[in-house]
Amino acid sequence: GNSVTQMEGPVTLSEEAFLTINCTYTATGYPSLFWYVQYPGEGLQLLLKATKADDKGSNKGFEATYRKETTSFHLEKGSVQVSDSAVYFCALEGGAGKSTFGDGTTLTVKP
Amino acid sequence: DTAVSQTPKYLVTQMGNDKSIKCEQNLGHDTMYWYKQDSKKFLKIMFSYNNKELIINETVPNRFSPKSPDKAHLNLHINSLELGDSAVYFCASSLAFGQGNSLAFGSGTRLTVV
């Protein structure tokens, strides 16, 4: 079956630091890949997505590139802010209607 | 306008009680889901409905019974609540079933069974 493995947290960074959260996946075929963000006390929100190999998703300064050769979809941001503190989930949807989520990575950004 | 809204936001109840959570989406999506998030933030799908039809039913105790009166609503009824049912339950929707679409989530219902 499908699976998503993402970098274990928690991750603590200083403001303006560079962020990478690693995500790799196992799936048959060509899944769509997503990053969701969950702020404290809220539901998950779609952050960005990519639907085919070499696509780059981007939003709010975050980027991730769909790498089929390495089955990866790493999340990056060049300069994090305190307001980016949240839990980040990597996910895929392989066409069977059931999204598979990673275990989440908690990011804390300190001023 | 809230896209996916669920009520109540908080639910505290005693073991053995029966409770319901309601969910509505105004996005015109065909597919709706229930997810359970545990205290470690792990997300697990419970059910999925497509145009009112049950499509996904994961290994969930039959004390949990979803109902979809129309494609904009998906409710979750839980009988004989147990301590282990304490979690945050999220409703979600997607444009269509099985086409690689993203999910729109509600803000969650935090259920505490005491």
pLDDT tens string B11-36: 999 999 999 999 999 999 999 999 99
Quick one: pLDDT at residue B58?
87
Per-residue pLDDT at B63: 96
Closest CA to A98 of B5, B67, B35: B35
Q: Is the pLDDT of residue A2 over 80?
A: yes
State yes or no: pLDDT of B70 exceeds 90. yes
Between the CA of residue A54 and those of A72, A74, B9, what are the distances in Å? 11, 12, 40
Provide the terminal-to-terminal Cα distance of chain B, rounded to the nearest Å: 34
Does the bond joining B61 to the residue before it have cis omega, within 30 degrees of 0? Answer: no
Here the tokens at position A28 are 């048959």
Mutate to test the interface with A, among B6, B33, B43 (most CBs of A within 10 A): B43
Q: Does A87 touch chain B (CB under 8 A)?
A: yes
pLDDT at B60: 87
Average pLDDT, chain A: 95
Q: Pick the residue from chain A with its C-alpha nearest to B89.
A: A43
Q: What is the CA radius of gyration of chain A?
A: 13
- B43: nearest CA in chain A? A101
C-alpha radius of gyration, chain B, whole number? 13
Predicted confidence (pLDDT) per residue in A11-36, tens digit: 999 999 999 999 999 998 889 999 99
Cβ pair A46:B98 closer than 8 A? no
pLDDT at A96 over 90: no
Q: Tell me which of A9-18, A38-47, A65-74, B48-57 is least confident.
A: B48-57
A19-21 sheet: strands from edge to edge? A19-21, A75-77, A62-65, A56-59
